[in-house]
A and B are shown apart, each in its own frame.
Chain A
Amino acid sequence: MAIKTEEMVLNMGPQHPSTHGVLRLELVLEGEIIINVIPHIGYLHRCFEKHCEVMTYPQIVPYTDRMDYLAPMGNEFGYAIAMEKLLGLQIPERVEYIRVIMAELQRISSHLVALGTYGADIGAFTPFLYCFRDREKILSLFEITCGARLLYNYIWIGGLSHDLHPDFVRKTREFIKEFRPNLKEVNDLLSHNRIFIDRTANVGILPIDTAINYGVTGPNLRASGIKWDVRKEDPYSIYHKFDYEIPVGEGTYGTVGDSWDRYYVRVLEMEESCKIIEQALEQIPEGDVQSAIPKRIKPPVGHVYARVENPRGDLGYFIISDGSTSPYRVKVRAPSFVSMQILNELCKGYMVADVVTILGSIDIVLGEIDR
């Protein structure tokens, strides 16, 4: 039988190279084996929901950017969809196409960060730089459209802030052409590397029922084997017009739902996003992107709950309106907030090094956990 050792409490404190943001993890260890992981959040709480109650509806859009700062287009998209559902607005087709292209580019960029930092946590420093090199190209595409590299304030209620730059379509096509071989290069370097597989396969296995009960969504849920994607189940905008697959974890190198699956589902999703972008660029119609933006937004009394597929899961906005120009209550259902709860379950029985692996595979952003 094992020698009984004393329990040690180790603090992976708020400042740490691998907790992705300011997160404090209290690890209760016995030697190197984890008994309990207690996450402490709230270091980045900026009272987004309280602010919303004193701002007008259009003023909230830049604030939604700053929640999940690695996928701001997704946040703005969700907010716009929720408000347009409440107001019953019809928006021009060109706006829909551009929003989809931006959201998919944002998905690729966010997954590149997730994969790059995951590799860096495991110890492979080079794929991190390859991923960021490709991300730079995406950020410059965003820059020519709306002027900002990270936080855009682009998708407004009823339309967009600027129309596409004349060079945008050509540059995006070039980007996609260069991106596919680069993706293959990162794949060869990291995904099928024996040491990487030994570190991530069979680590942190998430069964399907636990995942659904805990409310996990997005790539984490799909890695456990179920094809659940808000874009197909609850279609919003014009996603029904495109032809794309939903990648699912298959347990290639271990059990279904381990960290390798969560990592690989994201790699495959980037490829699918490329397909969607190509199709959208073919079909994009002409139009005026600002014609449907209302002068003053005063929705009817009532509430709405709408969600979009963000790179980290499904982001939900619950907005209660009391008939005035400011919302009565805005609640954001952040996917990382819900996914953090499974960290304790997944880490039990593994070693300290595995906490970093599992946390990286869940892919959290503290901005949206704390809001």
Chain B
Amino acid sequence: MIYDFLVDLFGNSSIANIIAGTIQSLLPLFAFILPFALFAVYLERKVSAHMQDRLGPMRVGWHGWKQTIADILKLIQKEDIVAKDNDKLLFNLAPIIVFAGSYAAFAAIPFTSIFIGTEVDLGIFYIIAVTGIVVAGILMAGWSSNNKYSLLGSMRSVAQIISYEIPTILVVLSLVMISGSMNLHTLSEQQTGYAWNWYIFGGPGAELSKYLLIPFMFIGFLVIYISTLAEVNRTPFDIPEAESELVSGYHTEYSGMKFAMFFLAEYANMFAVSAIVVALFLGGYQSPIGYLGDLIGAKWMIPIEQFSWFTIKGVFFVFVQMWLRWTLPRVRVDQLMTICWKYLIPIAFVNLIIIGLITLL
């Protein structure tokens, strides 16, 4: 819908198509994600503060809501330090790649039923591929910093991300088997109705297979949530940024705006993986209780409601991620790998096989 509107705006030519396509893809980025990243930083500080029996930022604006803006302004005007022995090209390129990898994923995430960044039929496949680019960026950051600690941190991070992509993909595969499509938009559309139709409760329809699927769906949900926690380097898997051992890991040597890019990329990544989990298992933008717009007959309200439901669910999972970060200690590197290869992957495989068998029914 927005696409058509934009094409009309620019006159109906092929150039207009290109412009409209560009604006449409960039829209989630600037209208939603960047403000969300700013909000998420503030949210994290407040959440962590209240969990630790203190208050957090209180002075900059009412209860400190302008704190992130102040921080970004500060980071923008800082000196950009590039040490003499750093590999200049890689050093400057790394934050850009990490940033791009995280943000590009949003192009395929369905925010409402009428708007999606780009209608890619390979939706979820595209997202997983693009978040893999982040690995290259992290390696570049660690290597070009010319610092043993950063190198250690980035190597650990690469091992972690690559290993944990496997359970993620296995669970996604099981879901794709049930729904028959990789397009997240279609997946979300299939989960219409009430909360009972969400995939975590077995999916739409009322056959026996739906009820059989429920426990395995829960297991899949847990596996994918834990794996995506590891993908975004959050505690308990935040070894790459382990402050107490590696003094901030692969982004130790960055200052100013480049550091801000790593920082914002992390929060965007958190929302991206929450959004994926929500879209796959919890109905995407569908409401659990029906739409107010339907009740009062205002059809135009429905997309707005869907957008707000999507945001609420996504923010809830981001909140759970923050909650886990401030509660649990950090896992050691070899224990991290053990969890992935010895526990999560076998569970995900068995889950996949069983779900496959059930869908044959």
Contact = CB atoms under 8 A, between A and B. Distances in A.
Q: Would A and B touch once assembled, by the CB under 8 A criterion?
A: yes
A17 interface: yes
A144 interface: no
A210 interface: no
Interface stretch (A124-132, A277-285, A302-310): A124-132
A125 B52 contact: yes
Interface in A1-37: 8, 10, 16-18, 32
Interface string A111-143: 000000001111111100110010000000000
B238 interface: yes
Contact of A122 (B51, B247, B330, B333): B330
A18 B329 contact: no
Contacts of B333: 32, 351, 353
A60 B243 CA distance: 39
Contacts of B152: 352
Contacts of A356: 244-245
A18 B53 contact: no
B244 A123 contact: yes
Contact of A126 (B52, B334, B335): B52
Interface string B314-336: 00000000000011111111110
Interface of B: 48, 51-54, 148-149, 152, 235-236, 238-239, 242-245, 247, 326-335
Nearest to B156: A32
Nearest to A203: B332
Nearest to B330: A123
Given A17-B244, A198-B335, A130 B52 contact: yes
B249 to A, nearest CB: 12
Given A122-B329, A123-B244, A124-B327, 9 more contacts: A10-B149, A17-B244, A123-B235, A133-B53, A193-B328, A195-B329, A196-B329, A351-B334, A352-B245
Contacts of A125: 48, 52, 326
Given A123-B236, A352-B152, A195 B245 contact: no
B331 A121 contact: no
A18 B244 CA distance: 5
A38 interface: no
Contacts of B48: 125
B129 to A, nearest CB: 30
A126 B149 CA distance: 25
Contacts of A196: 329
Chain A interface mostly helix, strand, loop or mixed? helix
A244 to B, nearest CB: 30
A124 B332 contact: no
Pick the 8 closest A-B CB pairs, nearest first. Answer: A123-B330, A124-B329, A129-B52, A18-B244, A123-B329, A122-B329, A121-B244, A196-B329
B335 A124 contact: no
B300 to A, nearest CB: 45
Contacts of B148: 8, 10
Interface in A177-213: 189-190, 193, 195-196, 198-199
A354 interface: yes
Nearest to B325: A125
A196 to B, nearest CB: 5
Interface of A: 8, 10, 16-18, 32, 119-126, 129-130, 133, 189-190, 193, 195-196, 198-199, 351-354, 356
B245 A353 contact: yes
Contact of B332 (A126, A129, A193, A353): A353
A275 B255 CA distance: 51
A335 B245 CA distance: 25
A124 B247 CA distance: 16
Contacts of B332: 198-199, 351, 353-354
Nearest to A133: B53
A185 B52 CA distance: 12
A271 B16 CA distance: 74
Contact of A195 (B236, B242, B326): B236
B329 A193 contact: yes
Contacts, number: 72
B248 to A, nearest CB: 9
Contacts of A17: 243-244, 247
A121 B246 CA distance: 11
A135 to B, nearest CB: 13
A195 B52 contact: no
B245 A126 contact: no
Contacts of A195: 236, 328-331
A84 B79 CA distance: 59
21 contacts: A10-B149, A16-B247, A17-B243, A18-B245, A32-B333, A122-B330, A123-B242, A123-B244, A125-B48, A126-B327, A129-B52, A195-B329, A195-B331, A196-B329, A198-B331, A199-B330, A199-B332, A353-B239, A353-B242, A353-B332, A356-B244
Most chain B CB inside 10 Å of its own CB: which residue of A17, A119, A193, A353: A353
A354 B332 CA distance: 8
A362 to B, nearest CB: 15
Given A10-B148, A18-B245, A198-B335, A119 B329 contact: yes
A32 B155 CA distance: 11
Contacts of A16: 247
A129 B53 contact: yes
A111 B236 CA distance: 25
Nearest to B238: A123
Contacts of B53: 129-130, 133
A7 to B, nearest CB: 13
Contacts of A353: 239, 242, 245, 332-333
A18 B330 CA distance: 14
Contacts of A133: 53
A257 B333 CA distance: 23
A354 B331 CA distance: 11
A148 B225 CA distance: 49
Nearest to B334: A351
Contact of B331 (A32, A120, A199, A351): A199
A32 B149 CA distance: 12
Contacts of B242: 123, 353
A10 B151 CA distance: 12
Nearest to B243: A17
A183 to B, nearest CB: 15
A17 B252 CA distance: 13
A233 B54 CA distance: 43
A202 to B, nearest CB: 12
Contacts of B243: 17
